[in-house]
Chains A and B, each alone.
Chain A
């Protein structure tokens, strides 16, 4: 980016006015007109407050976490605060609990994103092809899970499966292994199953709406031409429609993967992370706010943050997703 004006703060705008032409000349560009210069200043004056606010509410806490993570620091014993450099990270990375939680987090992320992609695409196809008078109804219904609070959805699923309040055991008692005494939330896999089901229910609509708008962007001449040339439904889907939706699919996958990696609400409600259902977010919360181990908890927070960065980085580099592409389409 050939940034000439320092874009740091809107407050520096007026003071910047004087040196601006100098830097303009040095970079051998035609001297900026007054109009262009005032437009730059106005641009940053309008955009600056939102920009600074975003940095303040996120950058500051993460830097603070980075700093705190270097200390052995428990709120219950504030006098014993001690600089341990990377000691907390060593503690975390050699702890089996951390690796188990990381594995559970990755597992939940992969399973939910794959299922949501398939289910979301099916829903998008239904909405795309639905007859006119049901289309609006379906789209409205599909928005209901999106709008519902995750905690409420977690309770809905929890009460349906719970051993005392649930009716699922009753309904499916004909299946082997399921009876009135089957406790879904007392062992790892059944609990993970319900947790993932609730996550999938709640967030598939989002993926499906993204895919629907991707479907709408596939030029209809292409599918028509393929149909005229005698392509079957499956051929049209795999050779014409899906390749043309690649951008929408990638964006949907990346957004959902980053979101799923931070899963917290439904696990907190359903199992509190017991029976091997704890994820990294829960571990960080339990360590810092539950046990008041600020140093250790900050280290986990930083690791979680780095994982999310890594996912985003891989997505952008490997899959070449242009996440910030909206800026250019002016």
Chain B
């Protein structure tokens, strides 16, 4: 490759990195600004402070942020776990067994993933209030399944269809029991797919906002994205921008870490689930 081409690629790469990371850098900088700096009109803080972070963990914004962080982690993990278990069984059946209605299940999953969340939240708002699920963990976990289940079924089906299932029989021929063949041959092949699906499903639940603000009213169940929108209402802050930015950075870190660690799997999971043929 010529020097000119190398320089060209370097420029292009820098542009792409800038595109992908600039807004993140922007909110990161805001999170380190002092209240006075927030209105300076500058990108970088003139004075770097950690007081925004201390305010959300031990300071005056603690009661808004910490409970919602716990809610988000708990609710998203449970919704992901339920979705992945159900979707694993479902995808195994679709990839492995011959039964009528397979295509219908995949079509329904697709239709559900296209559902406008707002159309679901209105009736649920009313129903949850009547049966006491409003502002509770199960009251969010159940609707979150409408987000996590369809994508889990699609990505897992795509993964499972690529597993060479004949290996299982080969192991049995070699003297393994059915269970041994399944555990020693199929499980190691399937596990990466299940794991990737769990990460993608978790991302999607973690991202939810409409259910979060529509079906909760207090810190009993309110997840982080909804809580961020309510920071503004807490009038004890001079300007909530710093605290919101710090909270935004805190909830972004786990996502970025997962992306960095499992970038290859996430890309293959996303594209296999969505594009076939």
Contact = CB atoms under 8 A, between A and B. Distances in A.
Interface string B16-31: 1101110110110010
Contact of B26 (A55, A160, A251, A297): A160
Interface in A1-58: 1-5, 7, 36, 39-40, 42-44, 46-47, 49-51, 53-55, 57-58
Interface string A311-323: 0100000000011
Given A130-B9, A142-B16, A210-B274, A164 B239 contact: yes
Interface residues of B, number: 102
Determine the interface band of chain A, counting residues with CB < 8 A from chain B: 35 or more
B106 A143 contact: no
B185 interface: no
Given A50-B89, A281-B118, A140 B110 contact: no
Contacts of A329: 161, 276-277
B157 interface: yes
A111 interface: no
A240 interface: no
Mostly, the B contact residues are helix
Contact of A65 (B1, B104, B122, B271): B122
Mostly, the A contact residues are helix
Nearest to B9: A131
B177 interface: no
Interface stretch (B51-59, B123-131, B190-198): B123-131
14 contacts: A43-B97, A54-B108, A62-B123, A123-B16, A131-B9, A144-B259, A147-B255, A148-B255, A149-B255, A155-B228, A159-B241, A165-B239, A255-B274, A262-B118
Interface of B: 1, 9, 12-13, 16-17, 19-21, 23-24, 26-27, 30, 38-39, 41-43, 86-87, 89-90, 92-95, 97-112, 114-127, 142-143, 145-146, 149-150, 153-154, 157-158, 161, 203, 206-207, 209-210, 213-214, 224-225, 228-229, 239, 241, 244-245, 248, 251-252, 255-256, 258-260, 263-264, 266-267, 270-272, 274-277
